[in-house]
Homo-oligomer: A and B are copies of this chain.
C-alpha cells in the first residue's frame, strides 16, 4: 500500500482536518500508525477484518472462488486488538462530526466486550476522532461506562479533555495514540 503522506511543512487551514484534506480517513490513519508501530516492533496491533456473511460462491474454471452474494455482519467485538508492552490491548475507533460523542454510536456488545477485557487485566479503551476540531482522544472503558450507566446520552469534548487523554496528531505516525496509552496506563513513556 503506497500512501502519499501529508507534507508537514505545508500550512493547512485550521478548519480542515489533516486526514480528510488529504483523503486520509481516520481508519486509514490508524492502520498506517499501527503499521508504523509494527515496523518499529513497538506493538503488534491489527484491525480485524469486517465480518461478512457469505451466501453464494461461484467457482469459475481456472480461476479463484468468486463470492457473488454476501452481506456485512455486525462485529461482535471491537475493531482493533494486539499486544503492547507485554499487555493485551483492545479498542474501538469512532469518529463524529459533532462536538460530543453520543452513546448511540457504539453498541452495547462492544462496551461489554471492552468491560470484559478490562476485567481480565487488558488495556481497553475507545479512540474518538472529533472531525470539526481535528482532535483525537482516548478514553478508558471504566470512566466511559460509568458515564453511560449514569444515563447520560453523550460525552462532550470538554469532558474528554478532563477524563480522557488527547492524542498527538502528526506526520509519522499520523495518530500517535500509543504515547497517550503510555500516559494513561503506564504513567511513563518508552524511548524509541
Contacts and interface: CB of A to CB of B under 8 A. Distances in A.
Interface of A: 38, 41, 43-44, 46, 48-52, 54, 64-73, 75-77, 81-84, 86-90, 113, 116-117, 119-122
Nearest to A121: B86
Contacts of A49: 48-52, 73, 75
A71 to B, nearest CB: 6
Contact of A44 (B69, B82, B84, B116): B116
Nearest to A81: B81
Given A44-B120, A88-B82, A116-B44, A71 B76 contact: no
Contacts of A113: 44
Contact of A67 (B44, B52, B77, B120): B52
B67 A69 contact: yes
Copies, count: 2
A52 B70 contact: yes
A91 to B, nearest CB: 13
17 contacts: A44-B116, A44-B120, A44-B122, A48-B48, A49-B50, A49-B52, A49-B73, A50-B52, A65-B71, A66-B69, A66-B71, A67-B72, A83-B117, A83-B121, A86-B121, A88-B88, A88-B89
B119 A41 contact: yes
B44 A86 contact: no
B46 A77 contact: yes
Contact of A68 (B48, B68, B89): B68
Contacts of A54: 52
Given A44-B120, A49-B73, A66-B70, 14 more contacts: A41-B120, A44-B117, A48-B49, A50-B52, A52-B54, A52-B70, A65-B72, A66-B71, A68-B68, A82-B88, A83-B88, A83-B120, A86-B88, A86-B122
